[in-house]
């Protein structure tokens, strides 16, 4: 029994000694490579990786948004011209009413004068609404222009993101091939340059998005006020 106990103790002592030796060896070896972990760890990814399918899909959406914005602008410009024609027609009508009012005053036609005064007020209200509608169309034109600018920034940023994706793939290929530090450093510099330009474009796009949201809010406010005025005056929609 004592022999068995002594044998177990010797085995345990030997195992413990081996474990200590391994730990000491690992600890003494580690300082020989103080920078290796920095070289082999994955890059800090500030701009998320996305597939070419995702990016291409966003480019198509941005191109469609641009086409729609250009179409909205064209329609708003056409409507603005139509409103200008209507306003000019109403102004000519106002002048005609003014002449008729002068004739009614000279002829002492009181009832006709009262009728013409009412007609003049109604005509003025229509002109006021048409002017507000014209301003609304101009706001819509401005909004469409900002939307077009934002779409252009979208497309430019997405195309640069595609370039970044290709350069990242190239960098990984170089790393896998085990090429020298010079080639990797050069590629890293190109990557940093692309990332910096992309972030600047994304910042401009964010500012354009804020500007677009402000324009859209202004348009809705104008529409609400114009709609309320139409209801109040009992006028048909223009």
The crossing angle, in degrees rounded to 10, of helices 110-177 and 52-106 is: 170
Cα 187–chain centre separation: 30
Burial per residue of 99-111, b for 16 or more beta-carbon CB atoms within 10 angstroms, e otherwise = ebbeebeeeeeee
Per-residue model confidence as pLDDT tens digits over 148-188? 999 999 999 999 999 999 998 888 887 777 766 777 788 88
- Beta strands (DSSP E) in the chain are none
Spatial neighbors of 214 by CB under 8 A, at least 6 apart, are: none
Closest Cα to residue 133, out of 223, 67, 49, 70?
223
Q: What angle do CA 29, 30, 31 make, to 5 degrees?
A: 100
Question: Which residue is it, tokens 């109403």?
Answer: 90
- The answer to whether the beta carbons of residues 188 and 164 sit under 8 Å apart is no
State the pLDDT at residue 237.
Answer: 59
Closest Cα to residue 166, out of 187, 135, 139, 142?
187
Q: Tell me, which fold does domain 52-233 have in CATH?
A: Substrate Binding Domain Of Dnak; Chain:A; Domain 2 (1.20.1270)
Residues of the chain with pLDDT under 70: 1-43, 179-180, 235-238
State the pLDDT at residue 39.
Answer: 42
- The answer to whether the beta carbons of residues 143 and 216 sit under 8 Å apart is yes
- The answer to whether the beta carbons of residues 195 and 47 sit under 8 Å apart is yes
State the pLDDT at residue 65.
Answer: 97
State the pLDDT at residue 7.
Answer: 47
Domain definitions of the chain by residue range: 52-233
Q: CA–CA distance from 109 to each of 95, 105, 112, 114, 125 (Å)?
A: 19, 6, 5, 9, 24
């Amino acid at each position: 029994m004592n022999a068995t106990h002594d044998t177990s103790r010797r085995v345990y002592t030997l195992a413990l000694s081996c474990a200590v030796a391994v730990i000491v060896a690992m600890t003494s070896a580690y300082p020989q490579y103080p920078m290796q972990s920095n070289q082999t760890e994955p890059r800090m990814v500030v701009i998320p990786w996305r597939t070419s399918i995702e990016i291409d899909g966003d480019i198509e959406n941005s191109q469609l948004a641009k086409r729609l914005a250009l179409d909205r602008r064209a329609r708003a410009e056409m409507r603005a011209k139509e409103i200008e024609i209507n306003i000019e027609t109403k102004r000519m009508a106002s002048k005609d009413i003014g002449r008729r009012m002068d004739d009614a005053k000279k002829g002492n036609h009181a009832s006709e004068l009262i009728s013409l005064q009412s007609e003049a007020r109604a005509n003025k209200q229509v002109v006021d609404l048409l002017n507000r509608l014209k301003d609304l169309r101009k706001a819509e034109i401005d909004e469409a222009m900002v939307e077009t600018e934002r779409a252009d920034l979208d497309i430019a940023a997405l195309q640069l993101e595609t370039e970044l994706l290709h350069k990242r793939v190239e960098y990984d290929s170089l790393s896998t091939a085990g090429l020298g530090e010079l080639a990797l450093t050069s590629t890293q510099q190109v990557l940093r340059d692309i990332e910096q330009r992309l972030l600047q474009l994304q910042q401009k796009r964010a500012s354009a998005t804020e500007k677009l949201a402000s324009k859209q809010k202004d348009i809705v406010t104008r529409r609400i006020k114009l709609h309320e005025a139409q209801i109040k005056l009992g006028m048909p929609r223009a």
